[in-house]
């Protein structure tokens, strides 16, 4: 039954959203704790956490990408969008589908090529931190772009559904 699969899909997406939000909060918390600890240790004990600064910089990338995933889910990416206000409902849905599929295309290309980078790094075996391989750090790139593509794909389905129910009425 289509209703059944819809339900399962909806529940899956809800769980996924919770994981994304949780990761975002976790990453920022780690970043804050690490940044504060660095300052205290450096100024009072003349001591630095090994790789602390590198790890902070990597966290910026991760926080940024998880933030972008959530922004994509909630349609909060920065955009201009001045023309769609002048369209009627149906034309707006069509524009929505076109825009969504365009983002899916771009994000998929980015996901594919960052995936290639991760594989290359895996083969090369370079390290990003003392004990952390680069490919692991970079794996957030294909993951995030993949998730963004998925979100816009879902949105395009929604838009085209709105289109078909709109034309039936």
**Where do contacts with another protein occur on this chain (CB under 8 A)?**
21, 24-25, 28-29, 31-32, 35-36, 38-39, 53, 56-61, 63-72, 74, 76-84, 95-96, 98-99, 102-103, 105-107, 109-110, 113-114, 116-117, 120, 137-138, 141
Sign of CA dihedral 8, 13, 18, 22: positive
Which burial class, exposed, middle or buried, applies to 160 when counting CB atoms under 10 A from its CB (0-12, 13-18, 19+)? middle
Q: How far is the CB of 129 from another protein (least distance, A)?
A: 11
**Please, which residue, 12 or 105, has the CB nearer to another protein?**
105
Q: How far is the CB of 91 from another protein (least distance, A)?
A: 10
Which residues contact residue 142 at a Cβ distance below 8 angstroms, ignoring those fewer than 6 apart? Answer: 111, 112, 114, 115, 118
What separation, in Å, do the N-terminal and C-terminal C-alpha atoms of the chain show? 24
Q: In whole angstroms, what is the distance from residue 63 CA to residue 78 CA?
A: 17
**Please, which residue, 9 or 36, has the CB nearer to another protein?**
36
Q: How far is the CB of 45 from another protein (least distance, A)?
A: 15
**Please, which residue, 110 or 158, has the CB nearer to another protein?**
110
Which residues contact residue 63 at a Cβ distance below 8 angstroms, ignoring those fewer than 6 apart? Answer: 24, 27, 28, 31
**Please, which residue, 87 or 157, has the CB nearer to another protein?**
87
**Please, which residue, 12 or 84, has the CB nearer to another protein?**
84
Q: In whole angstroms, what is the distance from residue 32 CA to residue 138 CA?
A: 21
Q: How far is the CB of 4 from another protein (least distance, A)?
A: 31
Q: In whole angstroms, what is the distance from residue 75 CA to residue 43 CA?
A: 42
Q: How far is the CB of 145 from another protein (least distance, A)?
A: 9
């Amino acid at each position: 039954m289509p209703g059944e699969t819809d339900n399962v899909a909806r529940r899956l997406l809800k769980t996924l959203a919770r994981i994304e939000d949780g990761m975002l909060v976790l990453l920022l918390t780690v970043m804050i704790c690490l940044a504060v600890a660095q300052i205290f240790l450096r100024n009072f004990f003349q001591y630095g956490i090994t790789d602390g600064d590198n790890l902070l910089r990597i966290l910026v990338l991760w926080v940024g990408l998880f933030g972008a995933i959530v922004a994509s889910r909630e349609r909060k990416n920065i955009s201009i969008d001045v023309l769609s206000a002048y369209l009627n409902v149906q034309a707006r849905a069509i524009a929505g589908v076109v825009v969504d599929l365009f983002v899916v295309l771009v994000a998929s290309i980015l996901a594919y090529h960052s995936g290639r980078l991760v594989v290359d790094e895996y083969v090369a075996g370079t390290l990003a931190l003392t004990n952390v391989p680069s490919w692991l750090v970079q794996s957030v790139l294909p993951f995030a772009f993949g998730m963004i593509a998925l979100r816009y794909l879902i949105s395009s389905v929604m838009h085209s559904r709105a289109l078909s129910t709109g034309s039936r009425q």
